[in-house]
């Protein structure tokens, strides 16, 4: 290995006296962290216009940092409290998530969010963190109309099934669409997905939620919902 190469490796990976290790490191791609967007995989949820799912939005590392930041807020020290709401200036970790959403959406050539929503300022000014213990969920609803279009939900910890059902009355369960929200995933709702579909999480009993024939092991789940208030 020549000096220049060695310097380069030291700069990239730190000093090491182990030549084998350096050789191994030299084989690795120069850039360890993929550029935003390069690695994110998006799925348009069939049948629901404006609903997009990114299963790998947050790395495992980012998920655990985010979880620590949320728990460090001290919002959930009492068992009876399972929701925290913030308006206006959001905690820095939430602003980081919001920035990451914008950067990621911008870097992907898919119609994930209409441009007027993506570039509004701020992108989000309201935050809800929900903490669900096993057996807890949320009833079918359309988010309040005092929030603009363009809603993001990031999931942490236990996976769950979110069920979408059309607002227009149908026979029970007719036309429902289930989406698996795995930890680290992000969903974006705009247009029809936001206004013409209700969403719910039904985890009434342990063993109640099943995905692809397998029961979901219900544990605590934390979600981060980001929205923007309509102007008065």
Please say which residue, 9 or 124, places its beta carbon nearer to Fe ion.
124
The nearer residue to ligand AKG, 138 or 180, going by C-beta atoms, is 138
Taking residue 69's Cβ as centre, other Cβ atoms within 10 Å add up to 15
**Rule CB under 5 A: is residue 200 a binding residue for Fe ion?**
no
Give the chain's radius of gyration (CA, Å). Answer: 21
Report, in Å, the least distance between residue 126 CB and Fe ion.
Answer: 12
The interface with ligand AKG within residues 144-163 (CB under 6 A) comprises: 153
Which one, 25 or 138, has the nearer CB to ligand AKG?
138
Binding to ligand AKG, residues 192-231 (CB under 6 A): 199, 223, 225
2: CB partners within 8 A, 6+ apart: none
Q: Which of 106, 143, 157, 192 binds ligand AKG (CB under 6 A)?
A: 143
Which of Fe ion, ligand AKG, none does residue 226 bind (CB under 5 to 8 Å by kind)?
none
Q: What is the nearest approach in angstroms of ligand AKG to the Cβ of residue 229?
A: 14
At 84, is the secondary structure helix, strand, or coil? Answer: strand
CA 7 to chain centre: 39
Of residues 109-138, those binding ligand AKG (CB under 6 A): 128, 130, 138
Counting Cβ atoms within 10 Å, is residue 157 exposed (0-12), middle (13-18) or buried (19+)?
A: middle
Tell me the CA distances in angstroms from 149 to 15, 40, 57, 201, one per residue in order. Answer: 50, 23, 21, 21
Interface residues for Fe ion in 130-159 (CB under 5 A)? 143
Helix (H, G, I), strand (E, B) or coil at 219: coil
Q: 106 vs 143, which CB is nearer to Fe ion?
A: 143
Instruction: Tell me the CB-side half-sphere exposure of residue 118, using CA atoms within 13 A.
Output: 16
Residues that bind Fe ion (CB under 5 A): 143
Residues that bind ligand AKG (CB under 6 A): 128, 130, 138, 143, 153, 199, 223, 225
């Amino acid at each position: 290995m020549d000096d220049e190469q060695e310097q380069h490796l030291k700069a990239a990976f730190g000093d090491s006296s182990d030549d084998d290790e350096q050789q191994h490191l030299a084989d690795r791609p120069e850039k360890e962290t993929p550029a935003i967007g390069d690695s994110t995989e998006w799925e348009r949820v069939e049948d629901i216009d404006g609903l997009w799912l990114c299963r790998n939005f947050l790395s495992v590392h980012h998920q655990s940092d985010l979880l620590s930041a949320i728990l460090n807020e001290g919002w959930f020290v009492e068992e009876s409290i399972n929701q925290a709401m913030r308006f206006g200036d959001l905690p820095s970790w939430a602003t980081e998530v919001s920035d990451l959403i914008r950067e990621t959406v911008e870097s992907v050539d898919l119609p994930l969010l209409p441009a007027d929503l993506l570039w509004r300022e701020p992108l989000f000014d309201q935050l809800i963190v929900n903490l669900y213990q096993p057996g807890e969920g949320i009833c079918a609803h359309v988010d309040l109309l005092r929030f603009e279009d363009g809603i993001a939900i990031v999931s942490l910890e236990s996976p769950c099934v979110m069920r979408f059902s059309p607002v227009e009355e149908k026979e029970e369960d007719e036309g429902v669409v289930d989406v698996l929200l795995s930890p680290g995933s992000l969903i974006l709702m705009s247009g029809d997905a936001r206004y013409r579909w209700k969403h719910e999480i039904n985890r009434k009993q342990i063993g109640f939620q099943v995905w692809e024939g397998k029961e979901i092991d219900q544990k605590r789940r934390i979600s981060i919902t980001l929205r923007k208030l309509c102007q008065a």
